[in-house]
């Protein structure tokens, strides 16, 4: 039976034990405040100044025996003392307790309006999820339901931001679904994950399905209710760096729900343990690598057979670079991953030597001082590297590369590049090293211009990232965007395209023929850059 401590007995016990508080070590204080309920009590004592332990229990929404145990811990570590106030025992903060309260910050409250979102490095606002909950009282039963709303503040052209609301949902269930799919949602790139339906009011009233899709560097929040945008991708509503999204999921969505369950003495352990397991994986490098790789394949890392775990370990050993491996895994299904690895091994053994580009290492070294591409958006980075390579090779903006053969000679290849059969999954080419020289094996795309574009994407990936092993895929990830931008600018520089069309009045079809590019590629180069 749970002991209920009250009256003078509690006061005498706490005051008596407080004499030992000076012996508390920094480690003991840290351990005490690692508990969310203990931190909540410290905040309540400091901010609400309860006149009794009974009042403190009411403010915390917890049973008095539980509050007494937490309070005892805070007293033992010298953060709280209990004063006698007539027949009451009043908890107050010590000087050490006030200092710690300043460190951990005030109680988080739900404002009527969200604060202005933080800014990205490129100056655009981050629009982040926010939870608004109606905490049930402990008397309502033992249900784990936490009613509330998930809210997004969306950008709107020519007007204020639009509030999008999930409506009343069970936040505990919502958080559990997020945690169960954490690794797949964040690391399977170019693969939207549906998180729910949202509703807007006013002139923007409507319902739309919200999904999140990882590009590698960022998380796009996309609207999947009104079809798809260009290239078959969902229409992006907003985006933010993946690190910000991870932090907000953990700190601003999961943690408040866990705290709510704590306060109402409900069953919070499953949510808390899932979040802790995820945090531990990030803390241990190899575990995090394994979990991310499993997620990129659309798998949960916690429910794998020994055979599948072995496949993942083999992939991690084969492609050491994190971003290259996650792009490759995201381009495959579970059934395709071993076939993909075998295709790479077979084609490199067959064609790796003859397809080596012996000058590419030196080209990469030569162009780096010119690129100045650190921190730029993917398309800007790819474009900068393409211009740097052309500059290093002394190729003018109006000069054609000369197709596959011309590119092979520019890159120091000694033999014609031989094309392979269709690659598995969404992979189109793979770059590796043979005797320390970059080598590229690639599928035959059935047209000369398409093959040239893929070859240049692989070259651009190596120039930008320098990975020993990396794939070119049909996915739309941040890394693949670098390669696409490199290929577009390397094959047909925007300055040359615009000059031929605007100054020389050359038709787009003839410009495409001159550069050995497709009509659509030249059109996009002109449309994307004509304002330069």
Cα(278)–Cα(291) distance, integer angstroms: 9
pLDDT, tens digit (0-9, with 9 covering 90-100), for 142-190: 567 778 787 776 655 544 455 667 777 888 888 899 999 999 999 999 9
Is the pTM for the entire model greater than 0.85? no
How would you class 488 by CB atoms within 10 Å of its CB: exposed for 0-12, middle for 13-18, buried for 19 or more? buried
Where do the DSSP E strands lie in 74-125?
A: 80-85, 88-93
Dist CA 448 CA 442 (whole Å): 13
Ranges 82-91, 101-110, 509-518: which has the least confidence: 101-110
Kindly state the tokens that stand for 287: 């575990």
pLDDT tens, residue by residue, 465-486? 999 999 999 999 999 999 999 9
505: left (phi over 0), alpha (psi -120 to 50) or beta: left
Question: Per mean pLDDT, which range of 111-115, 176-180, 207-211, 518-522 is the poorest?
Answer: 111-115
Distance CA 200, CA 109 (A): 24
Binning pLDDT at 50, 70 and 90, where does residue 113 land? very low
∠ CA(241), CA(245), CA(250), 5° rounding?
Answer: 150
Of 126-140, 228-242, 245-259, 498-512, the range with the lowest mean pLDDT is: 126-140
What was the pLDDT predicted at 124? Answer: 37
């Amino acid at each position: 039976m749970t002991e209920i401590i009250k009256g003078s007995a509690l006061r005498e016990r706490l005051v008596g034990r407080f004499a030992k508080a000076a012996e508390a070590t920094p480690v003991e204080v840290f351990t005490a405040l690692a508990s969310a309920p203990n931190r909540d009590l410290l905040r309540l004592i400091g901010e609400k100044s309860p006149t009794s332990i009974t009042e403190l229990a009411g403010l915390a929404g917890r049973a008095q025996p539980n509050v007494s145990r937490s309070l005892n811990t805070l007293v033992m570590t010298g953060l709280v003392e209990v004063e006698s106030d007539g027949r009451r025992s009043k908890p107050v903060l010590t000087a050490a307790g006030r200092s710690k309260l300043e460190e951990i910050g005030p109680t988080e409250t739900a404002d009527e309006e969200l604060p202005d979102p933080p800014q990205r490095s490129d100056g655009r606002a981050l629009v982040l999820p926010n939870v608004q909950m109606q905490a049930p009282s402990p008397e309502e039963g033992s249900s784990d339901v936490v009613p509330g709303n998930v809210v997004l503040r969306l950008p709107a052209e020519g007007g204020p931001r639009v509030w999008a609301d999930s409506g009343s949902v069970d936040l505990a269930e919502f958080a559990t679904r997020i945690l169960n799919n954490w690794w797949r949602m964040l690391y399977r790139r170019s693969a939207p994950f549906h998180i729910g339906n949202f509703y807007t009011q006013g002139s923007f009233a409507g319902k739309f399905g919200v999904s999140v899709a990882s590009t590698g560097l960022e998380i796009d929040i996309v609207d999947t209710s009104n079809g798809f945008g260009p290239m078959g991708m969902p229409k992006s509503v907003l985006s933010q760096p993946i690190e910000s999204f991870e932090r907000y999921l953990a700190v601003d969505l999961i943690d408040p729900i866990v705290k709510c369950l704590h306060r109402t003495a409900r069953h919070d352990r499953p949510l808390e343990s899932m979040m802790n397991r995820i945090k531990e994986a990030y803390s241990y490098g190899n575990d995090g690598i394994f979990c991310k790789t499993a997620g990129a394949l659309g798998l949960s890392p916690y429910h794998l057979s020994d055979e599948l775990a072995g496949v993942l370990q083999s992939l991690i050993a084969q492609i050491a670079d994190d971003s290259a491996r996650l792009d490759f895994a995201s381009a495959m299904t579970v059934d395709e991953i071993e076939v993909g690895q075998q295709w790479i091994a077979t084609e490199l053994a067959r064609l790796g030597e003859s397809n080596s580009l012996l000058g590419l290492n030196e080209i990469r070294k030569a162009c780096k001082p010119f690129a100045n591409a650190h921190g730029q958006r993917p398309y800007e980075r790819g474009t900068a590297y393409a211009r740097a390579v052309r500059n290093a090779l002394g190729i003018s903006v109006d000069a054609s590369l000369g197709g596959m053969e011309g590119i092979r000679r520019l890159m120091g290849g000694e033999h014609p590049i031989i094309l392979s059969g269709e690659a598995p999954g969404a992979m189109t080419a793979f770059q590796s090293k043979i005797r320390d020289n970059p080598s590229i094996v690639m599928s035959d795309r059935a047209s000369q211009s398409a093959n040239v574009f893929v070859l240049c994407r692989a070259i651009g990936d190596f120039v930008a990232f320098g990975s020993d092993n990396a794939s070119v895929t049909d996915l739309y990830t941040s890394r693949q965007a670098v390669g696409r931008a490199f290929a577009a600018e390397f094959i047909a520089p925007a300055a040359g395209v615009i000059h031929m069309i605007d100054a020389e009045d050359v038709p787009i079809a003839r410009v495409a023929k001159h550069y050995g590019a497709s009509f659509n590629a030249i059109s996009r180069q002109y449309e994307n850059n004509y304002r330069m």
